[in-house]
Structures are given as C-alpha cells and as structure tokens.
Structure 1
Amino acid sequence: MSTVPTPAPAPSRRARRKEARPAELLEAATRLFVEKGYAATRVEEVAALANVSKGTLFLYYPSKEALLKAVVRENIAGRFAEWQAQLQDFEGSTPDLVRYAFAVWLECIAHSPAGGICKLMSSECCNFPELATFYLEEVIYPGNALIRCILARGIARGEFRNVDLDAGIHLIVTPMFSYIQWRHSMGVCYPQSMGVSAEVYFATHIDNLLRGLAASAA
C-alpha cells in the first residue's frame, strides 16, 4: 500500500521575512542614497526605513561602504553578465543592436533608481577614493568594454567605419551621462522642460551617431 508523502511545512512568516531582508535593506538604502547622498545618509535611517534594527543591518552589510557597494552591484554591476550574453546572442545588424542597447539602458538605468545611483557616484566619488576605484572597476570599465564590443562588431561586419574605439566609446557615453546628470538633478521635467521629450532626444542622438559611424553614405 503506497503512502502519500507528507508535504514539507511552508516556511514560517519569520523565515520568509529573514529571506527578504537583504532585498528590503538594499531597496531602503537605494532610496536614501539617491535622495540624500552617500555622506548624509546614516545607517540608522536605512535600518529604520527597512523596519529592522541597526544591528540586524550590520549582520548583512558590515559598513555603510559595504551597503553602497551592494546597492551598486544590485542595480548595475551585477547585470553586466546578462547584458554581455544578450550582445553575443543578438542576430540583427549592429545599428539595430545599438538601438536595442539604448532601449535597455533607458529602461534599466536611466529611468530607474539605478540612474540615481549613477548620478550619486559621479558626485560623491571625488570625496571617497576607494568608492571611486570600486565604481570604475565594477561599472565604468565593464560598461566601456561592452560598448567597445558593439563598435568592434560593427567595424568587423563592415557596417561601421574604422573609428578609434576609445573615442567612439566617449562619443556614445557623453550624451547618456549628460542625460543622467540633468534628469537626476532637475527631476523628471528634463528634458521636457527644454522643449523635447526623452524619446526624441535619444532618437536624434542615435540617428546622428549611426550616420557618423556608417561605413558608407548609404
């Protein structure tokens, strides 16, 4: 006679709460870091917003610096492997890949809390050299490497002219950086307050970029 296996008991509410704490702490830290800046944010405030004690926060993140690094990895740095895989699997033309990459960046970075983190790091890193080194190694350098791969792909396929890759990276990144700085300084009213939507702003930038990179006049 077969017996019906007894289902495993569901995790208790306390256990589920414990599993959710790292994500809750990172969400609270992201919000406060973006709103107040790194230097002005106290770990007690992060703990209170996440509804835990300061001691509980330190069980997961032993310092405010460790907490900020975790925020950067959660929102940006931890996604580069996924983005690299998408680049390698992309089957369309390189101009289409550029358009796709901008769409992903707008959704995942510029118009998300991650955009505030980018603006935060650019303003705070000058006062915290170790954080500057961390951000360069885990965000800026991998991001530049991804753009380099896209440009090299276009050149190798004869779609882009043979441009200097380092200069090409900055040609692409500078308007993106400018948009992040303005949007997270002036709020969502930018660039609409200048008489242009974000969609038109980047459509124009991408069009100019691709025309300049094109291997032929066609």
Structure 2
Amino acid sequence: MKQEKKFSRRADARPDEVLDAAIAVFAQKGYARTKMDDIAKAAGISKGTVYLYFPSKDALVEGIVRRAVTPIAEGALPQLAAFQGDPRLPITMLIKVLVGLLGDPERLAVPRLILREGMNIPAIAEIYRRDVLDLAIPTLTGLVERGIASGHLRPLDPELTVRSIIGPVIAHLMLSEVFGIRPEGKLSFDRLMENHLNILFDGISAQKAEDAP
C-alpha cells in the first residue's frame, strides 16, 4: 500500500516535474533549440510520458505560463475587478504580489523566458497575451476608470495609465534579463516597488483641496 501511495503522489506531481524541466532546458538551450527528448531527459522520464501531459512545446509554454499566473488570475484579479474605493490600495497590493512572485527565482524564469524568446517565437508571446495580458489589462483599466469617477485619481487616460502602472516593472525586468543592467548588481525589486509607487501616486492621485494652490 505504501508503494501505491508513493506512485500516486509521483503521478500527480509529474506534470509539474515536466514543467520544471522544460523551464530549465529552455533557459539553457533556448526555446528553438530545445527538443522534447531534452525535456524528457531532464525530467527523468520517457519522451512518451512527456507527450502524455504536453503534446507540444507550445503546450509546455502554455502550462508554464498558466501555472505561474494562476495565483494572480484566481486571487488578485477578481478582487481588483470588484474593488470600490481608493484604487491606490489594490494597486499597491498588486505590485507587492508581483514583486513577491518575481523575487522567487523559479517564478522569475517565466517572464525571463517571455522577454528572451517572445520576439522570436510568436507562439510564446501569443500565449502570454491570451492568458495574462488580456485578463490583467482590462481589469486594471476598469479599476483606474472607477478611481477617476470616484475622484480618487486625476482625469487621465485609463488605458495609458495602466501602462504607466505596469510599465516600470517590465522595463526593470528587460534591463536586467535582456541587457544585464541591474542596480548595484541586483534586481532590488523591493526598492523598485517603493520608488515606483511613490512616483506613481504623486502623479496620478487627485489633488486634495488643502493642497490646491
């Protein structure tokens, strides 16, 4: 019985093991040069077993992306969509969640893959857009629109404001992972978050009556 339970746990965990192996091999060889044989070898299983769970490399990328964004898609985004009030609080929480996820080297592997391979492999960019951006951008846009309507934010272009909210995080990652430029040699996500939120909220918050000239 113990052996059966052990096998059951192993089978349940196997898709994650395949995804972990795929991330490692993609990082080492690049998406285009990676073969399913390479992933199977890294995972310690047969190629047929890999195909059992993921019929193609595109399916592997989709699995990697979905696994990474599930905590946000199922947790943060519904809360943002339903939020009423000062949007600076949920924006702060969202940035903190992103920083927490990106501070994990295993989680960082996913946006690193998108940044390095997305321009060369259209399927990767399309998967990330469909499973992440097409969900997150409308939700954030609605949050900003409600913040403007309630008077918490200045009257700004909501769609462009969303780009200003998430843009610095993307630019920070790109400078680090594509160009190898890091502040003091580190990613420093905590410092980036504090600096970004200070600049952001000073720029988009509505002026209080007592602050008016």
TM-score scaled by structure 2? 0.83
For residue 194 of structure 2, what is the aligned residue in structure 1?
A: 203
RMSD: 2.6
The CA distance in 1 between the partners of 2:147 and 2:177, in whole Å, is 32
Q: CA deviation at 1:186?
A: 6.4
Q: 60, 71, 77: which one pairs with 2:53? A: 60
For residue 74 of structure 2, what is the aligned residue in structure 1?
A: 81
Q: 139, 150, 159: which one pairs with 1:166? A: 159
* 1:105-164: CA deviation from partner (whole Å, max 9, x where unpaired): 111235443333223223323333333322222222222123213312321321101110
Q: 108, 111, 114: which one pairs with 1:121? A: 114
Q: 108, 114, 117: which one pairs with 2:101? A: 108
Q: 123, 130, 146: which one pairs with 2:139? A: 146
Q: 182, 186, 205: which one pairs with 1:214? A: 205
Q: How many residues align?
A: 208
| Deviates most, 44-53 or 80-89 | 80-89
**Aligned to 1:76, what secondary structure does the other structure show?**
helix
The CA distance in 1 between the partners of 2:119 and 2:67, in whole Å, is 22
Q: Output the amino acid matched with 1:32.
A: V
Q: Give ranges in structure 1 of 5+ residues lacking alignment.
A: 1-8
The CA distance in 1 between the partners of 2:29 and 2:175, in whole Å, is 17
TM-score scaled by structure 1? 0.82
For residue 43 of structure 2, what is the aligned residue in structure 1?
A: 50
For residue 171 of structure 2, what is the aligned residue in structure 1?
A: 178
**Identity percentage of aligned residues:** 28
* 1:70-122: CA deviation from partner (whole Å, max 9, x where unpaired): 11111126741322233256677322222111100111235443333223223
Q: Does 1:28 align with 2:21?
A: yes
Compare CA radii of gyration and give the structure with the larger one: 1
The CA distance in 1 between the partners of 2:35 and 2:82, in whole Å, is 43
Q: 1:200 to 1:16 in 2, by over 3 A?
A: closer
Q: 186, 189, 192: which one pairs with 2:184? A: 192
Q: Give ranges in structure 2 of 5+ residues lacking alignment.
A: none
